[in-house]
Amino acid sequence: MFAYISNLKAAHPLARDIQFPKLPPKLTESIGIHLLRGGLIPELQGYEFRFGGNEADIIGQRGESRVRIEVKGTTKGFEYFGEKDIKASYLMWFDFEELFRKNQGSFTLCILPYREKRFEKPVKITLAGLKKIEGAQLQWKRYSVEGFLSTISKPGVG
């Protein structure tokens, strides 16, 4: 769909208003839970992860300790962080531009820990803008789709 719409936009000026498909939140949240269960964030080792419902996209719990994780998935490199987003403990931002718009077979994940200290109010931000936040301890991971799919097909992983 992304390639078709991109080609259509290039060929026909009227097509510029056609929107790309929205990524389903359950897709990115499911990928996030899988990666977290596989040890993606070392300081969250030993936590149990589940969908968070109205409280957060993902809840991590270990005994009485609880973390709220918000998940974003984009193909165009910008996102809006609302009230719930800026109060969570972690942000997982999946950038699928290379996969869906450029058909390169990979995607990137940016992790921002403790972002409630970074934003005072809701904000629209780009990935480039996120990189410029002073003191942010961003973690970047790149995944090939083939490699990622092989991890979820292994019994007992994630």
What is the CATH number for 61? Answer: 3.40.1350
**pLDDT averaged over the chain?**
85
Q: Is residue 31 a part of any domain in this protein?
A: yes
pLDDT digits (tens, 9 = 90+) for 87-139: 888 989 898 888 887 778 889 898 988 755 667 788 888 887 877 776 667 88
Average pLDDT rounded to a whole number, residues 58-63: 96
Least confident of 23-32, 45-54, 142-151: 142-151
State how many domains the chain has: 1
Q: Is residue 16 a part of any domain in this protein?
A: no
pLDDT value, residue 157: 46
pLDDT value, residue 70: 93
pLDDT value, residue 153: 63
HSE of 45 in the Cβ direction (CA atoms, 13 Å)? 3
Q: Which residue has the higher pLDDT, 46 or 3?
A: 46
Q: Is residue 127 a part of any domain in this protein?
A: yes
Residue 143's domain spans which residues? 25-152
Considering the chain, what percentage of its residues have pLDDT values greater than 70? 91
Considering the chain, what percentage of its residues have pLDDT values greater than 90? 30
Q: Is residue 94 a part of any domain in this protein?
A: yes
Q: Is residue 42 a part of any domain in this protein?
A: yes
Q: Is residue 65 a part of any domain in this protein?
A: yes
Residue 158, pLDDT > 50, answer no
Written as six digits, the tokens of 41 are 């964030």
Give residue 36's pLDDT band: very low, low, confident or very high (50, 70, 90): very high
Residue 148, pLDDT > 90, answer no
pLDDT value, residue 10: 87
Buried/exposed code over 54-82 (b: 16+ C-beta within 10 A; e: otherwise)? eebbbbbeeeeeebbbbbbbbbeeebebe
Q: Is residue 5 a part of any domain in this protein?
A: no
pLDDT value, residue 46: 95
Q: Is residue 107 a part of any domain in this protein?
A: yes
**77 Rama class: left (phi>0) / alpha (psi -120 to 50) / beta:** left
